[in-house]
A and B are shown apart, each in its own frame.
Chain A
Amino acid sequence: MQTVVANILAQIESVLIGKPHQVKLALACLLAKGHILIEDLPGMGKTTLANTLAMTLGLSYQRIQFTSDLMPADVIGIAIFDEVKKSFQLHPGAIFNQVVLADEVNRASPKTQSALLEAMEEGRVSVDGVTHQLPEPFFVIATQNPMSHAGTYPLPESQLDRFMMRLSLGFPSIDAERKILQSTTSHRDADNIEPFLQVEQLREIQQHIAAISVAPAIVDYVIALCRMSRQTDSKAKALSPRAGKSLLAAAKSWAFMENRDYVIPEDIQAVFSPVCEHRLAPQQHHIFDEADELSQHILSLVDPTNPLP
């Protein structure tokens, strides 16, 4: 299983040059059944990452470009009267795909955003009183522009919370940038990306990750981290139990990618920042791979060997 994962990583890295850590985090997030929010400036490779992830996993995939005039119906789909059957039939929107790339999600109106985000959490949509199950597995990869850019609607905290991770790609290194500039193929050529996984395999992996053991000491560590964020003198927003759950899930996934069947504090530390920073400081936006101050601060306050003294 791990070799498959390694292959996937290698393929993505060949397309998205110079960002192995972010790629690994993104894959870990998907394997943990989480949704990803990629936040960065335009042209940093957000869409490329999302694209490649979806293609590599061999899942049905559709991209929605969010604009300010995008309607919820455009995302979810619309019920149209079928004259033959004499009934309303759903014309499924882009969301009825296993992987949905919501590009520039913060450019859409809040109404549209919430339609998407509701679907993310529930795993189903209701159109005209009829509930439709979304396909399984179901991932949303959203990208967003920094808030300062014109024409954006910031995502509310409650909705940010639904993304397991928030990633930022940042500028490439000199070497990576040179490679990017010299490469002849466009990243939009999806042809040479092969799917590496069958749906069955993906399910298997996900089950395996769910079965990874978490020792009480690790749970204590997560609890200690969450409690630390809730202290009154903390500048951060408090971490909810859902955040803790996400943290554990992501850590398990990370442990799987590190070839372990148990979680160690290093896993928690590795995923803590992407999982928690956007929950701790929703209004601050980390661009250009800035230091995740709050999460690093909280990490530095908790002793992993003796989390709850």
Chain B
Amino acid sequence: MTSSGLVLIAGVVLRLTLFATSIPALLERRPELSTPLTSVRSLKEGQFILAQGSDPYAGGVFHHSPLYLLLPAVPLVYTLADAVAAATLCKIAKERKALVAAVYLFNPYALLSCLARSTTTIDNAVLIAAIGAAGPLSGAMLAVASHLSLYPVLLVAPFAVRSRWSLLAFAVSFSGMTALNTVIFGHSWMRASWGVILTVSDLTPNVGMWWYFFTEMFEHFRSFFLGVFQLHNVIYVVPLCLRLEPHIAILVLVAVFSTWKSYPTLGDAAAWAGLLACYPDVVKHLRHPLFTLTVHLYTFILLPLLHSLWLLTGTGNANFFYAATMVHGLNSSLAVT
């Protein structure tokens, strides 16, 4: 058995053991790990409503992609998703595969969001699988990833540079899935899932910088800044594809949208940290690796602390948590540059 195989098994065993404890129940509600779009609690709600024969998107609490309605939200699925992601990362990496797998599986961000059963874990697995696949299959996988969390759609350009067929496969499967969903659910799902990602109508606090910004925003500026914020994710696509090789462009784009997407979680950072580990020569050229890692340690303590100061002990306020998310966001941005 190879060492990367051992790491995989260790990661899976660790997850299944921790799932047996009471820790997952504590993590499920953490705003750092799951947003309304990725929370397992709203996923179960949606599945329950569907099982009762109603439209889950009619009520305004369910924002997941329709594909998730089929997903059994049990620990084994999440554990497998992480294992698949780690195995794909091993395939992408050319050397030190075991280390890459370990960086992903034992990354506290990935581990915790898996335990919290945040669907970020599944999003990450599909995204990484798409990046690791070749030819038309990668396009089809990317279509699924885009369906789940929308932002991976930005990767179409570098994928197309990698293989023309993947573009075709993406177009076919993406429109196919969209059509199928529309036939089954009507139009309601689009506004409830993608619509919320694009218009940021749910302002539940998360580790991103959007919720506070748009809570404070005057209504008549809202659409302008919404455009600016969303465009900010898009503008990097063309220059990166022109300047860099496709696989590096993909890496940077994943970093870009996992930092600046409208509903980020800590788990999103795990996906790009895992990808980064596959390219040691990129790691070598990071500007401030030590500084960003240390600040990640700081924010990892600060985020829950200031959140509890705001909402539990009542000695702080929303600005406290926002300050922590700012530090986290700026630090992630610094890591990208």
Q: Do A and B bind each other?
A: no
